[in-house]
Chain A
Amino acid sequence: MNPPRHLFDKVWDAHAVGTLANGQTQLLIGTHLIHEVTSPQAFGMLDDLRLAVRMPHRTFATVDHIVPTDRRSEPFADPLADAMIKALRANCERHGITYFDLASGLQGIVHMVGPEQGITQPGTTIACGDSHTSTHGAFGAVAFGIGTSQVRDVLASQTIAMTKPKVRRIEVDGALGPGVYAKDVILHIIRTLGVHGGIGYAYEYAGAVFDRMSMEERMTVCNMSIEGGARCGYVNPDDTTFAYLEGRPYAPAGAAWDEAVARWRATASDPGCAYDDIVAIDATDIAPTVTWGINPGQAVFIDERVPHPDEVPASERAAVEEALAHMKLVGGQPIAGTPVEVAFLGSCTNARLSDFREVAAVLRGRRVAPGVRAIAVPGSTLVKEACEREGIDRVLVEAGFEWRAAGCSMCLAMNPDKLQGDELCASSSNRNFKGRQGSAAGRTVLMSPVMVAAAAVTGAVADARAVFGAQGA
């Protein structure tokens, strides 16, 4: 009888090709996702070395970061962006890589496309030149972001050199209160463990709260693992996972489906397995959470005050002062009531169908406050179309949101969607770094989509439970 193992060890061991001279593991990457920003240089390196793509059939591409979300016809107005999409298209064609292009009807943020197509599967290893690759861990995959040299390594060898991380199990038990979402859970975890707390760890999210979550909610949680320093975060696969995958284009079918489900079930962590660390969090402690600073760990509950520099340990004072200065907030003031100029619904964290359904449910019959610029950017073309079939787009447009085409958009503002000057943005995205949303002085307050809706209609950071009643829970 083998000792009980967690999912991470099982997947790692099954994909370990061998040990390299420096002691790192050569890890097989079963699924490689690529996009236009971090792959062109890697293809260039491949050309320089006269190397082919090792497994083109296990490499999947889409275009997301630089895509305009209003007028998508080519050539793009930005010649740099236009060169990037052309380079990706040419590289995929030349190497025989499946590419979900703008015209395919399947384009979207790379971390949306993998799950939608059923490419993202339990028990697999997934790498992508994008830190939010941790999203795919929601399916019980070992998935992590890599740099461009490693994209080259995966293209050329289907493997990377990696040091095995430790595994921390984060148990969230109990029940979430009304109006508390997956986004609040992960923001609370990051606030509790710190933005550096996950360095050297993979996170296993476990407990009743994650068991009950939909796949879309699990993706929101796993997506932000990297904001807590963990390169990889996962949820053990279960019936919810299998129900999501069944019938998707790249999912196994027929007899192969049953075999796959049996295999996937066996991939989940064994009862009684050992972890390097275990953290327990009570779900009832979690309230709607928003950031006040310049990293995702600088967060408070909506009814809390922004920290005062005098109240924090001396070692954190300079960081708090820097964050308050950038955010133009006064230490000790309530975060609720902070005026908002932009509302952004989008990103690989929160731009799925369920996010837009929740927002539409609270926005019906309401209007975005005067002076607030509000944009809604579905994470994928399939999400956009599903929203349009359900009339969600009309609810949002009638409320005063602009309804856009799929892409990363104002999460990182590589396309024309940007903050201006020191605008403050209520954002459903994942990073509130200085300058992240396209203006050096721009300010970002991270929150759940329903909280973005509350900020949009009131013109200020607000408790959605009070604005809309405790619906949507």
Chain B
Amino acid sequence: MALQPIRHVRGRGVVVPGDDIDTDRIVPARYLRAITFDGLGAVLFQDARFDDHGRPLGHPLDRPERRGATVMLSGGNFGCGSSREHAPQSIVRAGFRAVVAGSFAEIFFANATTLGLVCLALGPEELVALTAAVAADPAGELAIDVGDAAVTFAGRRYPGTIPATARDALLRGRFDPLAELLTNDAAVAATAARLPYLAEAGA
């Protein structure tokens, strides 16, 4: 599980407006009827993008100038609701490498970071300004500097936040923690042995 460090994300952006975008919106539950994550990239925001007959509703993701965008911009509390990892899986499989939002729901943030999807939070003023700038210039490229927790667009730098733990994990290529968790198994056993409910169960 040696992963490439993620120091920068560069690419065009697409704005999915609104606060409190929930994970049911990102991937409706009917697409969770599967035993793999295959194909989820195609159903990203399905019900916001297409009507019951599959006709496009003019969602920002479907505008021609947004094709190939790798940075999604949205509002506060992005990814709230269900813990479904299908949501960040879908975003990644649709080609996105980063989400810039007002804030992130915790379970979404943890899921996304484990997949190497960079989640950068901006303050309200920066977010409004950046969103307007990106909306006005679809061809412009955003440049996210993970170590700096900032995004640059059209010559302006927008400082934000990435929690130090996630930043460190991304920069070291250790955002998938499993290998490290497995190396500490003796300490796991010792901790379990000190807990009566686990010791009694014969851990």
Q: Which residues of A approach B to under 8 Å, CB–CB? A: 14-18, 20-24, 26, 28, 30, 37-38, 40-41, 44, 49, 51, 54-55, 57-58, 65-66, 78, 80-81, 83-84, 87, 121, 123-124, 129-131, 133, 144-150, 152-153, 156-163, 165, 195-196, 199-200, 226-227, 229, 231, 252, 256, 259-260, 263, 295, 315, 318-319, 322, 412-414, 431, 433-436, 438, 440
Contacts and interface: CB of A to CB of B under 8 A. Distances in A.
B35 A58 contact: no
B41 interface: no
A217 to B, nearest CB: 23
B33 A256 contact: no
Contacts of B29: 65, 412-414, 436, 438
B107 A41 contact: no
Nearest to B186: A17
A38 B85 contact: yes
Contact of A21 (B20, B37, B174, B198): B174
B172 A21 contact: yes
B110 interface: yes
A81 B165 CA distance: 38
B174 A22 contact: yes
A26 B184 contact: yes
A16 B191 CA distance: 8
Given A20-B180, A159-B188, A438 B30 contact: yes
Contacts of B25: 433-435
Nearest to B198: A30
Nearest to A129: B83
Contacts of B160: none
A184 B114 CA distance: 36
A200 to B, nearest CB: 7
Contact of A231 (B52, B107, B176, B181): B107
A22 B85 contact: no
A24 B185 CA distance: 17
Interface string B32-68: 1111110000000001100110000000000000000
A187 to B, nearest CB: 16
Given A21-B172, A30-B198, A163-B163, A152 B83 contact: no
A161 B188 CA distance: 13
| In the A-B complex, the 3 residue pairs with the closest CB atoms | A147-B111, A147-B85, A40-B35
Given A23-B164, A44-B35, A435-B28, A18 B196 contact: no
Interface in B149-203: 163-166, 168-169, 172, 174, 176-178, 180-182, 184-185, 187-188, 191-192, 194-198, 200-203
A145 B76 CA distance: 20
B80 to A, nearest CB: 6
A145 B32 CA distance: 17
B106 A158 contact: no
A78 B33 contact: yes
B84 interface: yes
Contacts of B111: 147-150
Contacts of A315: 124
Contacts of A438: 29-30
B126 interface: no
B81 interface: yes
A21 B22 contact: no
A156 B83 contact: no
A157 B107 CA distance: 19
Given A18-B184, A131-B83, A414-B29, A149 B114 contact: yes
Contacts of B81: 131, 226-227, 431, 433
Given A229-B105, A414-B32, 5 more contacts: A160-B181, A165-B106, A260-B197, A412-B24, A431-B82
Contacts of B163: 163
A82 to B, nearest CB: 10
A433 B77 contact: no
A123 B194 CA distance: 13
A41 B36 contact: yes
A259 B107 CA distance: 35
A256 B28 CA distance: 46
A43 to B, nearest CB: 9
A144 B83 CA distance: 10
A431 B25 CA distance: 12
B135 interface: no
